[in-house]
Chain A
Amino acid sequence: MNDHSHMTANRGTEAETVAAGLASAASRYFGGPATIEGLRRESGGASRQTWSFDAVVAGQRHELILRRDPPTAGGREKASATSLDRPTEFGVLRAAFNGGVRAPEVLFELGVQDGLGEAFVMRRVGGIAIARKLLRDPPYADARKKIAHQLGEIAARIHAVDTANLPPLPHREAADQVAALRAALDSLDQPQPVFELALSWLDRRRPAPTERPRLVHGDFRTGNYLADESGVTAILDWEGAHLGDPIEDLGWVCVKSWRFGSIDKPAGGFGSREDLWSAYRRAGGAEIDPARAHWWEVFGTVRWGVICLTQAWRHLSGSVKSMELASIGRRAVETEVDLLQLLKEAR
């Protein structure tokens, strides 16, 4: 991210390294010599890469995705403390897929001998994640009527995943999350009265710890799933997964920033909270307490505001040089506007 020109200059070499590592790992997994075709980088910065490719084995084509953290080079920015490493993300995805969640099917992890760092391979799923297109473009008109319901159903499946099948995950309840946001604010040298007000409001009303902590996706929102003309095809971005209060996911998906302008449709820009909650119940999820859901929506709004500031501070601290990250700091005030509105509605 901070050395784009350097990356561009070495892209040929890096792609060759990735292709070689994938060829040996795919040959082991499929049990025959694999040819790697159509390899290209999808997104991501210097760390947390996503690559798309086909593996051709004995004339059969497998459409695949590589998720990869390159081996740590000196001075690279440390991954966020609340993000899962790749092996844990692999385990969570496998448990979710086996539990019937619409998630990519993970196939195999790469080994040290493949030389690509912590990495795994999953099947490629069709669809796009770009919110602005899903919310406005003609091909998705039918999908738009379904997505709020589908998100409710999928959330119910995620929360029903047997926690015995999961790798060890952090357990974060409401109180831990409030404390974490206060700690994040304390690490920025900038007082934030509206966020402090909202965090104190949350602290005084925080829900009791869950009796049975569930798998929580942790970043369940528009922009983090793929959808096509038929609606949602796969839930992505599982590195925030943890154990905790399942309603956290239902509050987060309704945060106004994830409506991308369709502000009268709280459920990710596609429907009402009631659409989301009734689909959740029909798919086996628990009855939703509206006050608890509202608490998590207020929490999610502060969380996104604090993330905006934290992203800007990655630039301001000198750990990453990025105009894009710097500019995100000026988006925090959007959530201050939303928070004052939410607190007014709650009175």
Chain B
Amino acid sequence: MAQDRPTASELLNAIADFLREEATPALDRSDPRLGFQMRVAVNSLAILEREWRLAPDADARELARLKKLLGSDGTLPELTRELARQLRTGERDERDPELMAHLEATTNDKIAIANPRWR
């Protein structure tokens, strides 16, 4: 069942804006340590908002790539665990272009959620 608006994204943005613009300045005046913690919280809310928007497609793309790369079926955690095992044992390494393309695409999708400004 679809929820009424605001969407999760709109609600998370509304909370983050309120905390950033109204709560943080008040905390900075009364307890700077809490002001710092509130900035961490606001930053985490922004991560959640991006995750809500971007993660479903990113996860689907990652799963499709992993099935093709490993030539087997399974859930995203299962296939990721198998890939990590193969990289630990050296069955695959950085000389495999399809592996590197997969890791780059996955990492690009992760950083777009966690910290899109990272360079």
Residues of A within 8 A of B (CB): 182, 191-194, 196-197, 199-201, 204, 263, 323-324, 327, 330-331, 333-334, 336-337, 340, 343-344, 347
Contacts and interface: CB of A to CB of B under 8 A. Distances in A.
B69 to A, nearest CB: 10
A130 to B, nearest CB: 12
Given A193-B84, A324-B40, A333 B94 contact: no
B103 A323 contact: no
B7 interface: no
Nearest to B77: A191
A327 B43 contact: yes
A347 B100 CA distance: 12
A192 B84 contact: yes
B86 to A, nearest CB: 8
A19 to B, nearest CB: 22
Nearest to B103: A194
A194 B118 CA distance: 17
Contacts of A340: 100, 103-104, 107
15 contacts: A191-B80, A191-B81, A193-B80, A193-B103, A194-B107, A196-B87, A196-B88, A204-B90, A323-B41, A330-B47, A333-B115, A334-B118, A337-B108, A340-B107, A347-B94
Contact of B90 (A200, A263, A331, A336): A200
Given A337-B111, A340-B107, A201 B84 contact: no
B93 A197 contact: yes
B67 to A, nearest CB: 15
Contact of A196 (B44, B84, B106, B111): B84
Given A337-B111, A347-B94, A200 B104 contact: no
A117 B28 CA distance: 33
Given A263-B119, A324-B37, A347-B94, 11 more contacts: A191-B83, A194-B107, A197-B87, A197-B93, A197-B103, A201-B94, A323-B37, A330-B115, A333-B115, A343-B94, A344-B100
Contacts of A191: 77, 80-81, 83-85
Of A193, A201, A337, most buried by chain B (CB within 10 Å of CB) is: A193
A191 B70 CA distance: 15
A344 B100 CA distance: 9
Q: Which 9 A-B pairs have the closest CB atoms?
A: A191-B84, A196-B87, A191-B81, A333-B110, A330-B114, A197-B87, A336-B107, A196-B84, A191-B80
Contact of B107 (A196, A263, A323, A333): A333
B87 A200 contact: yes
B84 A337 contact: no
Contacts of A192: 84
Given A197-B87, A200-B88, A200-B93, A337 B47 contact: no
Contacts of B110: 333, 336
A263 B117 CA distance: 13
B88 A182 contact: yes
A336 B100 CA distance: 12
Contacts of B47: 330
Contact of A197 (B44, B81, B94, B115): B94
Nearest to B104: A340
Contacts of A194: 103, 107
Contacts of B90: 200, 204
A336 B107 CA distance: 7
A192 B85 CA distance: 9
B119 to A, nearest CB: 6
Contacts of B87: 193, 196-197, 200
A176 B44 CA distance: 35
B74 to A, nearest CB: 12
Interface string B14-39: 00000000000000000000000100
A199 B83 CA distance: 14
Of A182, A191, A192, A336, most buried by chain B (CB within 10 Å of CB) is: A191
A205 to B, nearest CB: 11
